[in-house]
Chain A
Amino acid sequence: MAKIDLDKMLEKIKSSQWSLSDVDWDAPGAELITAEQWPKLKAFMADLMWIEHVGARAFAAMAKKAPDDTLREIYTYFHAEEQRHANAEMALMKRWGMLEENELPEPNNNLRLVIEWLDRFADDQPVYVLGTVVPMLEIALDGALCKFLLETVDDPVCHQAFELINNDESRHLGVGFTVMEMQGHGKTYRELARMVAQLMDPRLILGIASYFPLLNKMRDNIIEMGLPEEKLYAAMQKFEKIGGRSEDGRRNPWFQIIKYHGRFVVDRGNRFYHKPIDALVKVTDAIPRRAFPAVPSWVREITYQTTA
């Protein structure tokens, strides 16, 4: 993946738009979902949809902090595109009879924490913190979750929708890694000092406390579906490979942190990491619903309707 020209990328993004109505959600093929698959797929899709939706919110925060107009516009598009992915995934759930009329699936507790954190603190974070975390989540999604889904599900409409989604995601990753390299370009020490200061920011610590269990939760969901977790790890290792392909990329201190964290996640033998984080997943699962504040209104923007 070579470094990209962001101006050309913006043009490419603008000329590659698609709408939910470009897909025939009533076409035959929904019956190919087996009875055994159905309940697991329902839980998986709900999580996937929510991950896309919170990813969208992260891009909104990045658009606010983007260092130039081009990147701001790109992130504004990515915000909307992630929302489109969430909408398309919700449309698939509707197609498969997993949603009642106007039903919005409940996000799991880890996602609720991430939603809460994004809503309160994301806009205050430096663009490069989210700019490194988001590619990691995306690569995990793009390379793992969606791939698993396509290997498991035979419905041609699902394949059609994910082809469109994956085309978008490849652009998101291209920009993501380019921005990570821009960040690493020649300012290691200054950035390192700034990063240490940022790491002490309690808002960021809260973010980390929501992000770490989220990855473990995703892993659990994958296992739940009967899929090999190694595929998720292989995808996460791609982050290390692509992000560290250049000197600039490696010099980005945030890349180094997320990379090492990725290594912890992949290494199931690392009890020092997994025991507490798995415990955190259990704790968050146990938080009663009513303990959460009302969901922010952007959460309800998601829809399976192709028209409004």
Chain B
Amino acid sequence: MTDVQTTPVVTTLIIGAGFAGLGSAIRLQQEGIDDMVILERDKQVGGTWRDNQYPGAACDIPSNLYSYSFAPNPDWSRSFSGAREILGYIHHLVNQFDLARYIRFGTNVTGLNWDQDRGVWEATTEGGETYYAKTVVMAQGPLSNPGFPNIAGIEDFQGKKIHSAQWDHNYNLEGKRVGVIGTGASAIQIVPSIVGKVDKLTVFQRTPPWVMPRPDFETPDWQKLAFRKLPLSQNALRKALYLAHESMALGVIWNSPLTRLAERLGKWHLRNQVKDRWLRRQLTPNYRLGCKRVLVSSDYYPALQQPNCKLITWPIARIDENGVRTVEGIEHQFDCLIFATGFNVSNAGTPFPITGVDGRQLNDEWKRGASAYKSINVAGYPNLFLTFGPNSGPGHNSALVYMESQINYIVKAVRTITSLDLKGLDVRQSAQESHNRAIQKRLSRTNWNTGCKSWYLTEDGFNATMYPGFATQYALQMKEVVLKDYRLLPHS
């Protein structure tokens, strides 16, 4: 049994060793806080990029923007790097900033409990160990639990089942009859990568995505050299990419003439790559661009038109032992079914029970949709910081840009707690509510809330995921820790 009084209390406990967790650790360390522990449920760092190693996995944001500004990488091999290279970058971060010493691998957190008397968070784990910390950073990732679709008979299938986020690299797809369920971000990368290997590929689509051309090219050596010798040049490119993506917000987030322009580009891309009128009709989205995630690919449409590939848009009736039965009455038989069906997004719950002041349960409070103050704090849960918390998701810019804003905010808040020797920094309920009223009002005018079904929304259509604005606006919101919005709890 753990001795509560003698077990050390660290300044910061970070849950998850993906981009957010490691980034937080780096910035805390840079600010002189190295009294921390990172708990990681897996045996490796990398989070999303460790799990998503399916064939063709890559980022759909340019690498020079999908990386930390405080840890630039001059050696990105392509404009849009693959998952393996991004994972390599994450490993490089661990080495460069000597983060391994903080990480406890194979440690799955099962609960967080606020000890009101001591002003300490207590983290229980699957292995039975308990960790204590003054502050906690939730960096378990919003997209960390693979989600299987709710299709009748899914358990009956006797062939191989693979989820895109749990790829089985030992399974040989060569010569197999393969079905891909889903046509989202993962599927449009998997399909072109495997169509040349398999005997037959059938892609099941419910809703067609908006797909834009992907300007992907190899980085020339001179550019890598320039970035190494002149880091300012890489910084300039990053800024240019940032601004280019910021301008996309005008078309993606709000309905504007730029939305029409982007839709035209999407339709041009489709017309250019797909000559058959019916197939084009099947692939034409029936909803406003931006309502769901806009995808980028220049090889998805050509892959669908390979002789061994077939797009099925009939609704799925059920899955049976041999394959997928669609409503037009045909049983599509497969050796392997790939579920590119995304994740169980935690926009309506917490990954494990979190107990705050006076025994309140965050899960209960978030039952009807999650909400937080500036996406990062929740009233009644002092010293608990969320990364990728409610309404922090970008639709048009790099997630890491948002993440940096969050991390810097966390660092400032942790420094405030330690320098003022506070027991707790607890956001005021009124500040949280007024923030969310404004957010929801702004959200109601965005493309995400125009009626399509997406993972951004809960079953009831509540948007607890996206931030309705520019990344620059978000960064401004996160620039200062406004102490008047918090209750400063002193040690008694």
Residues of A within 8 A of B (CB): 17-21, 64, 69, 73, 76-77, 80-81, 83-84, 87-88, 119, 123, 296-298, 301, 303, 305-308
Which B247-290 residues have a C-beta within 8 angstroms of A? Answer: 276-279, 281, 286
B11 within 8 Å of A (CB atoms): no
Stretch at the interface among B86-94, B166-174, B235-243, B330-338: B330-338
B317 within 8 Å of A (CB atoms): yes
Known: A17-B318, A77-B315, A80-B314. A87 touches B329 (CB 8 A): yes
Known: A123-B281, A297-B276, A298-B278. A308 touches B330 (CB 8 A): yes
Q: Are A83 and B331 in contact (CB under 8 A)?
A: no
B325 within 8 Å of A (CB atoms): yes
Q: Are A81 and B331 in contact (CB under 8 A)?
A: no
Nearest B residue to A57 via CB reads B278
Q: Are A21 and B318 in contact (CB under 8 A)?
A: no
Known: A19-B317, A297-B276. A77 touches B327 (CB 8 A): yes
Complex CA distance for A73 and B322, rounded to whole angstroms: 26
- Report which of A19, A77, A119 forms a contact with B329, defined as CB distance below 8 A: A19
Residues of A within 8 A of B326 (CB): 80
Q: Are A17 and B279 in contact (CB under 8 A)?
A: no
Nearest CB of A to B409, in Å: 38
Q: Are B328 and A83 in contact (CB under 8 A)?
A: yes
Centre residue among B279, B314, B453 by max chain A CB count within 10 A: B314
Residues of A within 8 A of B278 (CB): 119, 296-298
Nearest CB of A to B163, in Å: 24
- Report which of B286, B327, B332, B453 forms a contact with A17, defined as CB distance below 8 A: B327
Complex CA distance for A297 and B277, rounded to whole angstroms: 8
Residue contacts A-B, CB under 8 angstroms, 20 given: A17-B318, A18-B329, A20-B330, A20-B331, A21-B331, A69-B453, A80-B327, A84-B327, A84-B329, A87-B328, A119-B277, A123-B281, A296-B277, A296-B278, A297-B277, A301-B328, A306-B330, A306-B331, A307-B332, A308-B331
Nearest B residue to A65 via CB reads B286
Nearest B residue to A16 via CB reads B317
Chain B, 353-394, contact with A by CB distance < 8 Å: what is the 0/1 string?
A: 000000000000000000000000000000000000000000
Complex CA distance for A180 and B217, rounded to whole angstroms: 54
Residues of A within 8 A of B279 (CB): 297
Residues of B within 8 A of A17 (CB): 317-318, 325, 327
Complex CA distance for A193 and B342, rounded to whole angstroms: 47
Centre residue among A19, A21, A306, A307 by max chain B CB count within 10 A: A19
Nearest CB of A to B179, in Å: 10
Complex CA distance for A80 and B314, rounded to whole angstroms: 6
Nearest CB of A to B94, in Å: 46
Residues of A within 8 A of B325 (CB): 17, 19
- Report which of A19, A76, A77 forms a contact with B330, defined as CB distance below 8 A: A19
Complex CA distance for A295 and B306, rounded to whole angstroms: 20
Centre residue among B279, B286, B330 by max chain A CB count within 10 A: B330
Centre residue among B278, B286, B318, B322 by max chain A CB count within 10 A: B278
Nearest B residue to A85 via CB reads B329
Q: Are A307 and B277 in contact (CB under 8 A)?
A: no
Q: Are A87 and B330 in contact (CB under 8 A)?
A: yes
Nearest CB of A to B453, in Å: 8
- Other 15 A-B pairs with CB < 8 A, given A19-B330, A307-B322: A17-B327, A20-B329, A20-B330, A73-B315, A80-B314, A80-B328, A83-B314, A84-B328, A119-B277, A119-B278, A296-B278, A297-B277, A305-B330, A306-B331, A308-B330
Q: Are A307 and B327 in contact (CB under 8 A)?
A: no
Across the A-B interface, give the 6 residue pairs with the lowest CB-CB distance, nearest first. Answer: A80-B327, A84-B329, A17-B317, A83-B328, A20-B329, A80-B314
Centre residue among B286, B318, B329, B330 by max chain A CB count within 10 A: B329
Q: Are A307 and B329 in contact (CB under 8 A)?
A: no
Q: Are B327 and A81 in contact (CB under 8 A)?
A: yes
Complex CA distance for A192 and B326, rounded to whole angstroms: 39
Residues of A within 8 A of B281 (CB): 123
Nearest CB of A to B335, in Å: 14
Residues of A within 8 A of B317 (CB): 17, 19
Complex CA distance for A31 and B18, rounded to whole angstroms: 68
Residues of B within 8 A of A308 (CB): 202, 330-333
Nearest A residue to B332 via CB reads A308
Which B423-457 residues have a C-beta within 8 angstroms of A? Answer: 451, 453
Nearest B residue to A13 via CB reads B327
Residues of B within 8 A of A307 (CB): 322, 330-333
Known: A64-B286, A80-B315. A88 touches B277 (CB 8 A): no
Nearest A residue to B206 via CB reads A76
Nearest B residue to A123 via CB reads B281
Residues of A within 8 A of B276 (CB): 297
Nearest B residue to A23 via CB reads B329
Q: Are B330 and A303 in contact (CB under 8 A)?
A: yes
Residues of B within 8 A of A303 (CB): 330
Residues of B within 8 A of A296 (CB): 277-278
Complex CA distance for A87 and B328, rounded to whole angstroms: 8
